[in-house]
Amino acid sequence: MDRGQRRQAAETRRPIAGRAIRTDIAGSDSVLVDLIAAGFEASATAVVLFAPDDTLAFASSAFAELYDVQPDARTFADVMRHCHAAGKGPKFSTHIDAWLLLAAAKRRSAPHRAFEIDMADGRWFWASETSYAGGWILLVVTDITVLKSNERMLQMARDAAEIAAGTDSLTGLPNRRQAMAAFAEAIALADKTATPLSLVLIDLDHFKAINDRFGHKAGDDVLCHFAETGKRLLRKSDLLARIGGEEFMLLMPHAARHDALRATERLRMQLSLRPQIEGLDLTYTMSAGIADYAGETPENLFQKADRALYGAKSRGRDCVDVAD
């Protein structure tokens, strides 16, 4: 077969899904090139070679199938325009013309690039792009869907562990660790934005007596009831945390002391309406101390609220005190 015949044969083998595509590469039909092409086919590797003018020089069957390469596709843009129109190949977040402009700026920008591709069918692929002298580009695409799935599961497990580490297992509220971290962040934000911040410390009154009379299961039910009542009555921006046995902390960003007092009294009054706890015939009350932020350290603000709480208990409990 002479060179003209070889070129004509190459031109007839245009992009067809599931079939290797190869054009005349720089006029060479060397054994080495044939061996490399055969190796890609045998390994089922998705690989494509683009010429300096971005025409499709070679595409393995795996690549042709993955990108649904059509018989009339001649260039990189042809392949991608079809993928965009048919919902094949990679996901597109923009119009195809804008996407191609962005791709053109990245392709051939470095001797080697590696990146992830999120496919329209839900799979993930790792792309390794090599640019050669003269402008040739070799792209090898490998399925990493299983690895991405494992990565997501590990991320979910890590997120769950982080949540668990900062959550009280009984009430589902943030625990002391998470509350104190949020406390420090809230003070920093109040400083930065010059907005009010109030801290409320709450104790459930005579909680030991509830445990002694009704049992620890009843005590747990009371704690959970209080947590649910607080979540229902308080703002979404407020943070109610369990920081001890029957001790709770309420962090109220963008709330001055009068706002905090009104919200805390509403919570206290709700408890006085004979709370409905399934299987238990009991009532319970709370005492609270409020301190608003005035530029002091977190430790000093906490101590102010704690002193106010002590004052509420000293006045007979079931009341709210505000720090001076």
Last residue of some domain: 90, 119, 148? 148
Where is the domain boundary, 83, 116, 148?
148
Long-range pairs for 296-304: beta carbons < 8 A, 24 or more residues apart:
298/180, 298/183, 298/184, 298/187, 301/187, 301/199, 302/183, 302/199, 302/201, 304/199
Q: What is the CATH number of the domain that holds 51?
A: 3.30.450.20
Name the residue range of residue 84's domain. Answer: 3-148
Tokens of 311: 């004052």
Say if 109 falls within a structural domain: yes
Share above pLDDT 70 across residues of the chain, in percent, rounded to a whole number = 86
**Residue 302's domain is classified under what CATH number?**
3.30.70.270
Query: Which range is least confidently modeled, 26-30, 147-151, 157-161, 281-285?
Result: 26-30
Dig out the tokens for 82 from the structure.
């079809």
**Are residues 220 and 185 both part of a single domain?**
yes
Give the tens place of pLDDT for each residue, 182-212.
Answer: 999 999 999 999 999 999 999 999 999 998 8
Residue 295 lies in a domain: yes
Based on the domain organization, do 142 and 252 belong to the same domain?
no
Token pair 């962005």 in the structure block, residue: 102
Number of folded domains that form the chain: 2
Q: Which residue among 129, 162, 228, 246 is the active-site one?
A: 246
Residues 93-106 have pLDDT tens digits of 899 999 999 999 99
Strand partners, 131: 137
Specify whether 113 is located in the same domain as 225. Answer: no
Co-location of 19 and 142 in the same domain: yes
Residue 241 in contact with residue 249, Cβ under 8 Å? yes
Q: Are residues 127 and 197 in the same domain?
A: no
Residues 170 and 314 in one domain: yes
Q: Mind listing the pLDDT tens digit for each residue in 240-293? A: 999 999 999 999 999 999 999 999 999 999 987 766 677 777 889 999 999 999
Q: Give this prediction's pTM.
A: 0.55
Question: What confidence category does residue 13 fall into, taking pLDDT thresholds of 50, 70 and 90?
Answer: very low
If asked whether residues 122 and 91 sit together in one domain, one would say: yes
Same domain, 134 and 206: no
Say if 186 falls within a structural domain: yes
Please indicate, yes or no, whether residues 124 and 245 belong to a single structural domain of this protein: no
Predicted confidence (pLDDT) at residue 26 exceeds the cutoff of 70: no
- Arithmetic mean of pLDDT over the chain: 87
Q: Is residue 130 part of a domain?
A: yes
Average pLDDT over residues 72-78: 95
**3-state DSSP of 269-305:** HHHCCCCCECCECCCCCEEEEEEECCCCCHHHHHHHH
Claim to verify: residue 193 and residue 127 sit in the same structural domain: no
Tell me whether residue 246 is one of the annotated catalytic residues: yes
